[in-house]
């Protein structure tokens, strides 16, 4: 390097919350690459620290302020270190963040990441930069193309953002705005770019991904278009709303071999009274009918869900109804949360349930979900699954990958298995993973 070449500036991004934030963080790093930044894994080395935040529950937002409080000390040795807050807390709180934590130089909401390079210029010139607009220009259009650097075999690809459903507890329609779908041709191009850098499995992301309308055939149309991308072996999508599981998408689960047999379909609660109060616009019964149709198309599909306990007005009976729904559906895995009041959402006005009631219900619900997860994992023992290997494990010779059902699977396999799909006979179920042996026929 010549004396005059400036050393690259280092960027550290800490990502909170959902997979969409993981995707956004990658795109932000790529955008700031044009300003001379390279990513670092250590905040101590960084010239710029971005916290890409989540606002979905109260605790998620509070974590950001505690982290800023801790990281403030880094400025003692490095006074030029810059701090930025991005993501949904940035969108929801805007300028308030800089007031509460003056070390923050930059606040940018999820719709304006393409403006980050210009905002960085302003920050480097000693200014503060704030952008929480919902601009007309599409950030994905303006963001740079995907980096050509070699990647791991799996990637996220955001195809849809925002939500028009307005569930009574949820901040997403306010922080991410109304539903926007990216045009299919851009997504297909991005998928091809990802495949060229080593990606074999793509998870399509959207807050309401199955409401995707950037293709005439909806999400199913997009999936079939991606099915034709050479070198792409697996497609997944998340997160879906039960009301948007249309016939074509259900059918694709039975007929599209690249579409993996795993579906995250949140229901939140099993009582119709609570579902109505949540403004979910479906009943427990209609959810179960959708599940039946999906299972008819793809009998071995592994189902996942989200549950909220302690929504305002939830009685013991309402909670029992949620447990009954869980027993009827039988989930392979699921996420569950205590209801968390989000200012500005309709449910925030309602009287809250006592904390101990919520704690007790969450424990019971998680106990039941755990039982179902263990049963599902144990039912895999003796079965042959197909595993896309992602990386080496901790033990010598051991590799880790994901089965078609999204189970983490450990097996002894050669290093060159990374990026390849291999058949594995499952021998053991562990806490959150499966172990197995490579089958004799190495590839299919
Ligand atoms: N309180 C608790 N959980 C929530 N979720 C969304 N908003 C809230 C809230 N206010 C959960 C829902 C959703 C998941 C992403 O987060 O279950 O599906
Ligand atoms: Fe939030 Fe999902 Fe409901 Fe949209 S559908 S408001 S993202 S919980």
> How large is the average pLDDT for residues 359-366?
98
In whole angstroms, what is the distance from residue 183 CA to residue 443 CA? Answer: 35
Decide whether any atom of ligand 2 lies within 6 Å of the 312 Cβ: no
Decide whether any atom of ligand 1 lies within 6 Å of the 337 Cβ: yes
* CA distances for 340 relative to 170, 352, 355, angstroms: 9, 9, 11
pLDDT band at residue 62 using 50, 70 and 90 as cut-offs: confident
In whole angstroms, what is the distance from residue 365 CA to residue 309 CA? Answer: 8
Question: Which residues, including other chains, have CB under 8 Å from residue 414's CB and lie 6 or more apart?
Answer: 399
Residue nearest to atom 3 of ligand 2 (CA): 167
Using only C-alpha atoms, what is the Rg of the chain? 23
Q: Which ligand is nearest to the CA of 269?
A: 1
Complete domains list, the chain, with CATH: 9-131 (3.40.50.12160), 150-260 (3.30.750.210), 384-438 (2.40.50)
pLDDT recorded at residue 3: 53
Is the CB of residue 216 less than 8 Å from the CB of residue 167?
no
pLDDT band at residue 108 using 50, 70 and 90 as cut-offs: very high
Model pTM greater than 0.85?
yes
Q: Which ligand is nearest to the CA of 209?
A: 2
pLDDT recorded at residue 140: 74
pLDDT recorded at residue 366: 98
For strands 421-429 and 434-438, give the pairing. antiparallel
């Amino acid at each position: 390097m010549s004396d005059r070449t400036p050393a690259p500036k280092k960027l550290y991004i800490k990502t909170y919350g959902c997979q969409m934030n993981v995707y956004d963080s990658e795109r932000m790093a790529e955008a700031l690459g044009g300003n001379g930044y390279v990513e670092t894994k250590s905040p101590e080395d960084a010239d710029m620290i971005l916290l890409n935040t989540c606002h979905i529950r109260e605790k998620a937002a509070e974590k950001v302020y505690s982290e800023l409080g801790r990281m403030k000390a880094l400025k003692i040795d490095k006074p030029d270190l810059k701090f930025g807050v991005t993501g949904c807390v940035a969108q929801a709180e805007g300028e308030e963040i800089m007031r509460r934590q003056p070390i923050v130089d930059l606040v940018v909401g999820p719709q304006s990441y393409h403006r980050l390079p210009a905002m960085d210029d302003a920050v480097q010139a000693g200014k503060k930069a704030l952008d929480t607009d919902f601009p007309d220009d599409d950030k994905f259009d303006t963001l740079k193309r995907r980096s050509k650097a070699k990647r791991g075999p799996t990637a996220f690809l955001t195809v849809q953002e925002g939500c028009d459903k307005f569930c009574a507890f949820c901040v997403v329609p306010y922080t991410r705005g109304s539903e926007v779908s990216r045009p299919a041709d851009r997504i297909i191009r991005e998928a091809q770019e990802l495949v060229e850098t080593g990606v074999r499995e793509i998870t399509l992301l959207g807050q309401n991904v199955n409401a995707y309308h950037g293709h005439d055939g909806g999400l199913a149309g997009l999936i079939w278009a991606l099915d034709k991308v050479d070198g792409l072996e697996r497609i997944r999508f998340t997160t879906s709303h039960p009301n948007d599981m249309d016939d074509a998408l259900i059918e694709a689960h039975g007929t599209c071999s690249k579409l993996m047999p795993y579906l995250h379909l949140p229901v939140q609660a099993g009582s119709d009274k609570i579902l109505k109060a949540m403004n979910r616009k479906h009943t427990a019964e209609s959810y179960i009918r959708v599940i039946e149709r999906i299972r008819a198309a793809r009998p071995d599909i592994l189902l996942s869900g989200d549950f909220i306990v302690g929504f305002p007005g939830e009685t013991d009976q309402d909670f029992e109804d949620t447990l009954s729904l869980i027993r009827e559906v039988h989930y392979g895995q699921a996420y569950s949360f205590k209801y968390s009041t989000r200012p500005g959402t309709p449910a925030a006005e309602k009287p809250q349930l006592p904390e101990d009631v919520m704690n007790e219900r969450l424990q019971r619900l998680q106990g039941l979900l755990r039982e179902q997860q263990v049963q599902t994992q144990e039912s895999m023992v003796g079965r042959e699954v197909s595993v896309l290997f992602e990386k080496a494990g901790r033990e010598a010779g051991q590799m880790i990958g994901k089965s078609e059902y999204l189970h983490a699977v450990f097996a002894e396999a050669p290093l060159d298995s990374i990026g390849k799909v291999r058949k594995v006979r499952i021998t053991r179920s562990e806490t959150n993973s499966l172990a197995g042996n490579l089958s004799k026929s190495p590839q299919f």
